[in-house]
Structure 1
């Protein structure tokens, strides 16, 4: 090799992305189990753990564990951005041909990964496999029942039929990950975003374990956030490229009866009737004004969409520190 030549970096076959938030009690076992599951596979793997502003020392423990494990690549976010942004930070650093995700609480079983990856590798008709916690081990009914309701609602609204949208254990072909961008709390709707990006999706039952250490980060309030996020995802999937259709359609549906009401009142005025005291005059005027406002909002949204697609996007997150392996790979 000539002097000064940088050796080529061989990308691993599999990248595993795990968002971490206050999971110090589980980290050692999590890292060990991922290694146990993927080390025997040819092609190599990398484990990207994204610490999302933990306050229990998870970030320091990740750096400590990575010191002796070149395949472990911690990313330490500057603050708590949320699970979607943590996943996006990991996706942007993933080098593998296949990308897998799971939670950091050990309720997902890393030993399920090889079977999912094998199927994705051998079945060209699938671009993404989503886990299905068919036998959930959550003790609290306050988690299981809302989850079932949310899964049915999301499947109905997005037309992507899955039993378990909330399962973090998923595997993807790299090109699918490169086509989607997560922000806010869109991690719950990755299958819908992937489907829009052209992914062919399969669902496979996987194991699920009860949490034994640490504290769950989810509560009943998540159900209400899911409903609000669902409104966003339906709008994004159906009208992201044409917001005028939804705002303009709503505006026309309001303005049209308003115009008809005002035309009717004008005809009465021409015939000599007094219309100034009629409630219909106020109703017609309000319908026209509100309808015009929605149409203008649609036009402004169209301009914003144009700016979004034609202009550069600002950074979504800031990294405080991230350990880089000695060979210079990410």
Structure 2
């Protein structure tokens, strides 16, 4: 009696952003195509060139021409940043599962098949990599990353040890529920936690390799951007749909303080005949009431902006170069199954 044939794996879209990675682009594409050669389902590789000026896009297009049914190249008009490049890839993807890799060859594509299987076995919506043995300089990369990861875990409550790892696998239906902007790619697990249960977000050890070509786009200055980005994430997750609660709470607190001060000064003036005109407490009370009015009116304006945001179409955070395929060009996303994805040849 023959053994049962395993069902086909879900259609997998692999998104890789590139910016001035001419030395690594072709090799990374070759590694991905080799690793996924035995994948049991349909797959595609989306290479997003983020405005490179070193010939990266031309090398990617040459590789795509050799396997047009598998590889698609998106070229952005200028350098919009890694977050926008990833969003462009998400918009153009058709897979039931979506994987991400960095374009510097430090992430190992060989981790992808195992991570896909683990995501399905553990019934997760996101499985992110953990670079347990990082091949980076300690003081310039590793130490700032450890501090940033600890701070993000503390503020957001999402217990991920390595937010900066570029190797991730998602369920497409969940990832497409969020929009990435600014430099928020580091906080993708936090955004995902906003649309699914934190218990459906997992982490697994992955390989990390030293950079052998090109120049790193990360430095110590990136660590200082984490704090303002983290504050923005905290605000959007807690108060995006109700910003009036945030500003209103502060306004009410100042109002209570200002009212109490002014009431006390009124009693001191009328009841005890004290001179309050030159008392610093009077100035503080007046300022507290002014702050209260400002925060309350800001809350009302923020509510109006939030309503406008949720009711209006959202513009993309990137712009494709002429001749590059627009998101959604290929129509319906195909269902799971073996073979090549139809209509994927015109990157």
With structure 2 as the length reference, what TM-score do the two structures score?
0.88
1:294 counterpart residue number: 295
Paired residue secondary structure (1:179) = coil
2:183 counterpart residue number: 185
CA–CA distance in structure 2, aligned partners of residues 102 and 181 of structure 1: 18
2:337 counterpart residue number: none
For 1:129-150, what per-residue CA distance to the aligned partner results, in whole angstroms no more than 9, with x for missing partners? 0000000011342210010111
1:139 corresponds, among 137, 140, 148, to 137
Asked if 2 retains the 8 angstrom alpha-carbon contact of 1:25 and 1:214, the reply is: yes
Q: How many residues align?
A: 319
4+ residue segments displaced more than 3 Å: 323-330
Paired residue secondary structure (1:18) = strand
CA–CA distance in structure 2, aligned partners of residues 211 and 191 of structure 1: 25
Paired residue secondary structure (1:212) = coil
| Per-residue deviation, 1:296 | 0.9
Matches within 5 A, 1:143-158: 143-158=141-156
Paired residue secondary structure (1:50) = strand
Bigger relative contact order, structure 1 or 2 (CA pairs below 8 A, ≥6 apart): 2
CA–CA distance in structure 1, aligned partners of residues 232 and 240 of structure 2: 10
2:276 counterpart residue number: 275
1:121 counterpart residue number: 120
CA–CA distance in structure 2, aligned partners of residues 177 and 264 of structure 1: 55
1:228 counterpart residue number: 228
| Per-residue deviation, 1:327 | 5.7
2:80 counterpart residue number: 81
For 1:139-190, what per-residue CA distance to the aligned partner results, in whole angstroms no more than 9, with x for missing partners? 3422100101111110111110011000010001111111111000111000
Which structure 1 segments of 5+ residues have no match?
Answer: 1-10
CA–CA distance in structure 1, aligned partners of residues 128 and 63 of structure 2: 29
Paired residue secondary structure (1:95) = coil
Which structure 2 segments of 5+ residues have no match?
Answer: 1-8, 331-340
Asked if 2 retains the 8 angstrom alpha-carbon contact of 1:12 and 1:95, the reply is: no
CA–CA distance in structure 2, aligned partners of residues 69 and 135 of structure 1: 34
For 1:99-126, what per-residue CA distance to the aligned partner results, in whole angstroms no more than 9, with x for missing partners? 00010001000001010011223332x1
Matches within 5 A, 1:69-108: 69-70=67-68, 71-108=70-107
